[in-house]
Amino acid sequence: MAKDKTGSDKALSKRSAIASAAKVPVSSRSEIAAFLSAAKSVVPAATGSGRLAFALDATMSRQPTWDSACKLQAEMFDAVGKTGGLSVQLVYFRGLGECRASRWVEDTRQLADLMTRIDCRGGQTQIGRVLRHVSDEAKKTPVSAMVYIGDAMEEDIDKLAVIAGELALRKVPCFMFHEGNDPAAAIGFREIARVTGGAYVRFDQNAASELAALLRAVATYATGGRLALERSGGKAARLLLEQLGPGTSGDKGSNQS
Protein backbone atom coordinates (compact mmCIF):
# COMPACT_ATOMS: atom_id res chain seq x y z
CA MET A 1 0.00 0.00 0.00
CA ALA A 2 1.35 3.40 -0.89
CA LYS A 3 2.87 5.30 2.00
CA ASP A 4 2.83 8.80 0.49
CA LYS A 5 1.38 11.59 2.59
CA THR A 6 -1.97 12.98 1.66
CA GLY A 7 -3.61 16.22 2.75
CA SER A 8 -6.35 15.90 5.32
CA ASP A 9 -9.87 16.00 3.97
CA LYS A 10 -12.05 18.66 5.49
CA ALA A 11 -13.67 17.59 8.75
CA LEU A 12 -17.39 17.03 8.97
CA SER A 13 -18.77 20.23 10.41
CA LYS A 14 -19.27 20.12 14.14
CA ARG A 15 -22.57 21.91 13.93
CA SER A 16 -23.97 19.40 11.43
CA ALA A 17 -22.73 16.46 13.47
CA ILE A 18 -24.30 17.73 16.68
CA ALA A 19 -27.54 18.58 14.95
CA SER A 20 -27.72 15.10 13.46
CA ALA A 21 -26.53 13.22 16.54
CA ALA A 22 -29.95 13.09 18.09
CA LYS A 23 -31.20 11.26 15.01
CA VAL A 24 -28.52 8.56 15.14
CA PRO A 25 -29.69 5.51 17.11
CA VAL A 26 -27.19 3.58 19.18
CA SER A 27 -26.95 -0.15 18.74
CA SER A 28 -28.98 -1.60 21.59
CA ARG A 29 -27.97 -4.67 23.53
CA SER A 30 -30.85 -6.49 21.86
CA GLU A 31 -29.35 -5.70 18.45
CA ILE A 32 -25.96 -6.93 19.60
CA ALA A 33 -27.60 -10.05 21.01
CA ALA A 34 -29.17 -10.66 17.61
CA PHE A 35 -25.74 -10.54 16.01
CA LEU A 36 -24.41 -13.02 18.56
CA SER A 37 -27.30 -15.43 18.20
CA ALA A 38 -26.89 -15.36 14.44
CA ALA A 39 -23.17 -16.01 14.79
CA LYS A 40 -23.79 -19.12 16.90
CA SER A 41 -26.17 -20.54 14.32
CA VAL A 42 -23.95 -19.97 11.29
CA VAL A 43 -22.43 -23.06 9.74
CA PRO A 44 -19.52 -22.23 7.41
CA ALA A 45 -19.67 -23.78 3.97
CA ALA A 46 -17.67 -27.00 3.89
CA THR A 47 -15.53 -25.71 1.05
CA GLY A 48 -15.76 -22.08 2.03
CA SER A 49 -12.94 -19.66 1.45
CA GLY A 50 -12.62 -15.92 1.46
CA ARG A 51 -10.53 -12.85 2.12
CA LEU A 52 -11.16 -10.51 5.03
CA ALA A 53 -9.57 -7.05 5.32
CA PHE A 54 -9.22 -6.02 8.96
CA ALA A 55 -8.61 -2.28 9.40
CA LEU A 56 -7.70 -0.34 12.55
CA ASP A 57 -7.54 3.28 13.58
CA ALA A 58 -4.27 3.53 15.54
CA THR A 59 -4.32 7.28 16.18
CA MET A 60 -3.73 8.66 19.66
CA SER A 61 -7.41 8.96 20.61
CA ARG A 62 -7.56 5.17 20.87
CA GLN A 63 -4.57 4.90 23.21
CA PRO A 64 -6.64 4.61 26.44
CA THR A 65 -8.32 1.42 25.22
CA TRP A 66 -5.64 0.12 22.88
CA ASP A 67 -4.34 -2.72 25.08
CA SER A 68 -7.80 -4.18 25.67
CA ALA A 69 -8.70 -3.68 22.01
CA CYS A 70 -5.58 -5.56 20.92
CA LYS A 71 -6.53 -8.46 23.18
CA LEU A 72 -9.98 -8.66 21.63
CA GLN A 73 -8.63 -8.38 18.12
CA ALA A 74 -6.05 -11.08 18.81
CA GLU A 75 -8.88 -13.35 19.96
CA MET A 76 -10.67 -12.61 16.72
CA PHE A 77 -7.60 -13.56 14.70
CA ASP A 78 -7.38 -16.81 16.67
CA ALA A 79 -11.01 -17.58 15.87
CA VAL A 80 -10.42 -16.80 12.20
CA GLY A 81 -7.45 -19.14 12.15
CA LYS A 82 -9.59 -21.95 13.52
CA THR A 83 -12.30 -21.27 10.95
CA GLY A 84 -9.99 -22.26 8.13
CA GLY A 85 -10.11 -21.29 4.47
CA LEU A 86 -9.88 -17.57 5.20
CA SER A 87 -7.07 -15.19 4.33
CA VAL A 88 -6.75 -11.99 6.36
CA GLN A 89 -4.93 -8.73 5.75
CA LEU A 90 -4.24 -6.22 8.52
CA VAL A 91 -4.51 -2.54 7.56
CA TYR A 92 -3.89 0.34 9.97
CA PHE A 93 -3.20 4.05 9.97
CA ARG A 94 -1.63 6.42 12.48
CA GLY A 95 0.56 9.51 12.73
CA LEU A 96 1.13 11.94 9.88
CA GLY A 97 0.18 10.10 6.71
CA GLU A 98 1.26 6.61 7.79
CA CYS A 99 -1.03 3.90 6.41
CA ARG A 100 0.21 0.33 6.10
CA ALA A 101 -1.08 -3.06 5.04
CA SER A 102 0.29 -6.52 5.73
CA ARG A 103 0.38 -9.29 3.17
CA TRP A 104 -2.56 -11.69 3.00
CA VAL A 105 -2.03 -14.61 5.36
CA GLU A 106 -3.93 -17.66 6.56
CA ASP A 107 -1.77 -18.11 9.66
CA THR A 108 -3.39 -15.31 11.64
CA ARG A 109 -0.97 -15.66 14.54
CA GLN A 110 1.43 -13.59 12.46
CA LEU A 111 -1.08 -10.75 12.34
CA ALA A 112 -1.79 -10.99 16.07
CA ASP A 113 1.94 -10.67 16.73
CA LEU A 114 2.19 -7.71 14.36
CA MET A 115 -0.75 -5.98 16.00
CA THR A 116 0.81 -6.18 19.45
CA ARG A 117 3.80 -4.24 18.12
CA ILE A 118 1.70 -1.34 16.84
CA ASP A 119 1.61 1.72 19.08
CA CYS A 120 -0.79 4.64 18.72
CA ARG A 121 0.50 7.91 17.25
CA GLY A 122 -1.15 11.28 16.91
CA GLY A 123 -2.72 12.22 13.60
CA GLN A 124 -5.98 12.52 11.73
CA THR A 125 -8.08 9.65 10.45
CA GLN A 126 -7.29 8.14 7.04
CA ILE A 127 -10.43 6.12 6.43
CA GLY A 128 -10.46 7.17 2.79
CA ARG A 129 -7.07 5.60 2.20
CA VAL A 130 -8.21 2.38 3.88
CA LEU A 131 -11.32 2.17 1.72
CA ARG A 132 -9.32 2.94 -1.41
CA HIS A 133 -6.76 0.28 -0.56
CA VAL A 134 -9.40 -2.40 0.01
CA SER A 135 -11.15 -1.40 -3.21
CA ASP A 136 -7.88 -1.78 -5.12
CA GLU A 137 -7.30 -5.17 -3.52
CA ALA A 138 -10.82 -6.29 -4.47
CA LYS A 139 -10.21 -5.16 -8.04
CA LYS A 140 -7.31 -7.61 -8.27
CA THR A 141 -8.87 -10.51 -6.32
CA PRO A 142 -12.33 -10.58 -4.67
CA VAL A 143 -12.47 -9.52 -1.01
CA SER A 144 -15.30 -11.08 1.02
CA ALA A 145 -15.68 -8.31 3.61
CA MET A 146 -13.95 -5.50 5.47
CA VAL A 147 -13.96 -4.96 9.22
CA TYR A 148 -13.12 -1.48 10.51
CA ILE A 149 -12.63 -0.50 14.16
CA GLY A 150 -12.30 3.17 15.08
CA ASP A 151 -13.60 5.97 17.27
CA ALA A 152 -13.51 9.07 15.06
CA MET A 153 -13.97 10.39 11.55
CA GLU A 154 -12.25 13.62 10.45
CA GLU A 155 -12.87 13.38 6.71
CA ASP A 156 -15.53 14.52 4.25
CA ILE A 157 -18.31 11.93 4.37
CA ASP A 158 -19.35 12.70 0.79
CA LYS A 159 -15.88 11.78 -0.47
CA LEU A 160 -15.84 8.62 1.66
CA ALA A 161 -19.26 7.65 0.30
CA VAL A 162 -17.92 7.77 -3.25
CA ILE A 163 -15.18 5.27 -2.41
CA ALA A 164 -17.67 3.20 -0.43
CA GLY A 165 -19.75 3.08 -3.61
CA GLU A 166 -16.80 1.51 -5.41
CA LEU A 167 -16.60 -1.14 -2.69
CA ALA A 168 -20.30 -1.79 -3.13
CA LEU A 169 -19.79 -2.33 -6.87
CA ARG A 170 -17.03 -4.80 -6.01
CA LYS A 171 -19.36 -6.50 -3.50
CA VAL A 172 -17.31 -5.77 -0.38
CA PRO A 173 -19.59 -5.14 2.64
CA CYS A 174 -18.04 -3.01 5.38
CA PHE A 175 -18.65 -3.93 9.01
CA MET A 176 -18.08 -0.69 10.90
CA PHE A 177 -17.41 -1.08 14.64
CA HIS A 178 -17.60 2.25 16.44
CA GLU A 179 -15.82 2.65 19.77
CA GLY A 180 -17.15 5.51 21.91
CA ASN A 181 -19.86 8.05 21.12
CA ASP A 182 -18.46 10.59 18.64
CA PRO A 183 -21.52 11.79 16.65
CA ALA A 184 -19.63 12.54 13.43
CA ALA A 185 -18.14 9.04 13.44
CA ALA A 186 -21.57 7.52 14.06
CA ILE A 187 -23.02 9.33 11.04
CA GLY A 188 -20.07 8.49 8.78
CA PHE A 189 -19.73 4.86 9.81
CA ARG A 190 -23.44 4.23 9.36
CA GLU A 191 -23.32 5.71 5.88
CA ILE A 192 -20.34 3.59 4.83
CA ALA A 193 -22.09 0.47 6.14
CA ARG A 194 -25.31 1.43 4.35
CA VAL A 195 -23.67 2.15 1.01
CA THR A 196 -21.66 -1.09 0.99
CA GLY A 197 -24.46 -3.28 2.33
CA GLY A 198 -22.60 -3.99 5.56
CA ALA A 199 -23.50 -3.30 9.19
CA TYR A 200 -22.78 -0.75 11.94
CA VAL A 201 -22.34 -1.54 15.63
CA ARG A 202 -21.44 0.87 18.39
CA PHE A 203 -19.66 -0.51 21.42
CA ASP A 204 -17.78 0.46 24.55
CA GLN A 205 -15.59 -1.39 27.01
CA ASN A 206 -18.69 -2.75 28.74
CA ALA A 207 -19.49 -4.63 25.55
CA ALA A 208 -16.01 -6.05 25.00
CA SER A 209 -17.06 -9.70 24.91
CA GLU A 210 -19.87 -8.87 22.49
CA LEU A 211 -17.38 -7.21 20.15
CA ALA A 212 -15.14 -10.28 20.10
CA ALA A 213 -18.11 -12.47 19.23
CA LEU A 214 -19.25 -10.04 16.54
CA LEU A 215 -15.83 -10.17 14.93
CA ARG A 216 -15.93 -13.95 14.95
CA ALA A 217 -19.35 -13.72 13.29
CA VAL A 218 -17.92 -11.59 10.50
CA ALA A 219 -15.11 -14.09 10.00
CA THR A 220 -17.67 -16.87 9.69
CA TYR A 221 -19.72 -14.76 7.29
CA ALA A 222 -16.66 -14.08 5.15
CA THR A 223 -16.03 -17.81 4.94
CA GLY A 224 -19.54 -19.22 4.57
CA GLY A 225 -21.29 -16.21 3.06
CA ARG A 226 -24.93 -15.24 2.98
CA LEU A 227 -26.00 -18.75 2.06
CA ALA A 228 -24.69 -20.08 5.37
CA LEU A 229 -26.81 -17.54 7.24
CA GLU A 230 -29.88 -18.39 5.22
CA ARG A 231 -29.41 -22.09 5.90
CA SER A 232 -29.08 -21.50 9.63
CA GLY A 233 -32.64 -20.13 9.91
CA GLY A 234 -34.10 -18.54 13.03
CA LYS A 235 -35.15 -15.00 13.91
CA ALA A 236 -31.65 -13.80 14.81
CA ALA A 237 -30.20 -14.95 11.50
CA ARG A 238 -32.98 -13.14 9.66
CA LEU A 239 -32.23 -9.93 11.59
CA LEU A 240 -28.59 -10.14 10.55
CA LEU A 241 -29.55 -10.72 6.94
CA GLU A 242 -31.79 -7.65 7.11
CA GLN A 243 -28.85 -5.53 8.26
CA LEU A 244 -26.67 -6.89 5.49
CA GLY A 245 -29.32 -6.10 2.92
CA PRO A 246 -30.35 -8.10 -0.15
CA GLY A 247 -27.72 -9.71 -2.32
CA THR A 248 -24.73 -8.80 -0.15
CA SER A 249 -21.36 -9.94 -1.45
CA GLY A 250 -20.98 -12.68 1.13
CA ASP A 251 -22.97 -14.95 -1.19
CA LYS A 252 -20.24 -17.31 -2.28
CA GLY A 253 -21.77 -17.59 -5.69
CA SER A 254 -21.41 -13.87 -6.43
CA ASN A 255 -18.15 -12.91 -4.78
CA GLN A 256 -15.58 -15.64 -5.11
CA SER A 257 -13.66 -16.42 -8.21
- For residue 82, what is the domain's CATH number? 3.40.50.410
Parent domain of 78: 32-39+48-255
Buried b (16+ CB within 10 A) or exposed e, 117-148: eeebeebbbbbbbbbbbbbebbeeebbbbbbb
- CA 199 from centroid of its chain's CA atoms: 9
pLDDT digit string, tens, across residues 139-190: 999 999 999 999 999 999 999 999 999 999 999 999 898 988 899 999 999 9
Q: What whole-number distance in Å separates Cα of residue 159 and Cα of residue 229?
A: 32
pLDDT digit string, tens, across residues 179-235: 888 999 999 999 999 999 988 888 766 665 666 667 767 776 777 777 765 665 544
Asked whether residue 190 is domain-assigned, the answer is: yes
Asked whether residue 213 is domain-assigned, the answer is: yes
Asked whether residue 12 is domain-assigned, the answer is: no
Asked whether residue 208 is domain-assigned, the answer is: yes
pLDDT digit string, tens, across residues 104-120: 988 777 777 777 778 88
Whether the per-residue pLDDT at 81 is higher than 50: the answer is yes
pLDDT for residue 189: 97
CA distances (Å), 247 to each of 161, 169, 201, 230, 251, in order? 19, 12, 20, 12, 7
Asked whether residue 56 is domain-assigned, the answer is: yes
Asked whether residue 194 is domain-assigned, the answer is: yes
Mean per-residue pLDDT for 2-27?
A: 41
